[in-house]
Amino acid sequence: MIGDRATTEETRRRIAANIARVRATIAEAARRAGRQADEITLVAVSKTMPLAWVQIAYNEGVTDFGENRVQDALPKVAAFHPPGMRWHMIGHVQTNKGRKVAEAFDAVQSVDSLHLAETLDRYAGVRGKSLPVLLQVNISGEASKEGMTPEETPALARRIAALPALAVQGLMTIAPLARDPEEARPAFRGLRLLREQLRQELPEIAWLHLSMGMTDDYAIAIEEGATIVRVGRAIFGERVHT
């Protein structure tokens, strides 16, 4: 029907324009920080969004997608997973979902306990895959936030890095919700400083990545060293809360 096709084309144009705008913002922030834009991976956070929109973003050159709920994500991952595209788990994973996550996802950014890490390791091992993971750190110390404390991170990192089927690649954090994005800067800086400490204490681990920054604050996160930004609303629009 013409009406449907028009709607689809409008959606495609909207998402394509949003992606172009986000890429321009990434490039500007990188330039301000004296960094290269290609050091920064854009993860499009597609939670609650239809698979068709993921495919639109993919056709615009986005290769990395993030989901935070296992049950919602699995059908999308099963339906669309071309070579070179990566699905990232970015939300809290209950251990009883560890198997499905290890099997379906290309990376897990939200590893926040040894128990979860061991479960992911077991099932990634069964699959014969090496699963890239980030350690989620509650850098701001907010009681409501998931993640390990900065203090416990070195000891946990050491044990998680010893698991054969996991590849620890860095750290992830979620900054506190704030009206002014500048308020997120100390959390981003804190994660970068923690990575510097870990590079000294555990040089055998490749501390490549800092996954930090979302729609409201990803430019600031890039100024503070983010190598991965997780952007949902600026690409797909506001989520309808369920």
SS3 103: helix
**Interatomic CA distance for residues 31 and 71, integer angstroms:** 39
Residues that bind ligand PLP (CB under 6 A): 45, 47, 68, 90-91, 174, 214-215, 230-233
Please give the DSSP secondary-structure letter assigned to residue 231.
Answer: E
8 A C-beta contact, residue 150 and residue 139: yes
8 A C-beta contact, residue 184 and residue 175: yes
Q: How far is the CB of 194 from ligand PLP (least distance, A)?
A: 18
The DSSP result for 116-177, as a single string, is HHHHHHHHHHHTT--EEEEEEB-TT--TT--SB-TTTHHHHHHHHHTSTTEEEEEEE--PPP
Nearest CB to ligand PLP, comparing residues 43 and 205: 43
Q: How far is the CB of 47 from ligand PLP (least distance, A)?
A: 6
**Which one, of 228, 210, 220, lies nearest residue 29 by Cα?**
220
Nearest CB to ligand PLP, comparing residues 76 and 230: 230
Nearest CB to ligand PLP, comparing residues 11 and 215: 215
Nearest CB to ligand PLP, comparing residues 112 and 121: 112
Q: How far is the CB of 87 from ligand PLP (least distance, A)?
A: 14
Q: How far is the CB of 229 from ligand PLP (least distance, A)?
A: 9
Nearest CB to ligand PLP, comparing residues 72 and 118: 72
Q: How far is the CB of 237 from ligand PLP (least distance, A)?
A: 9
Q: CB nearest ligand PLP: which residue?
A: 232
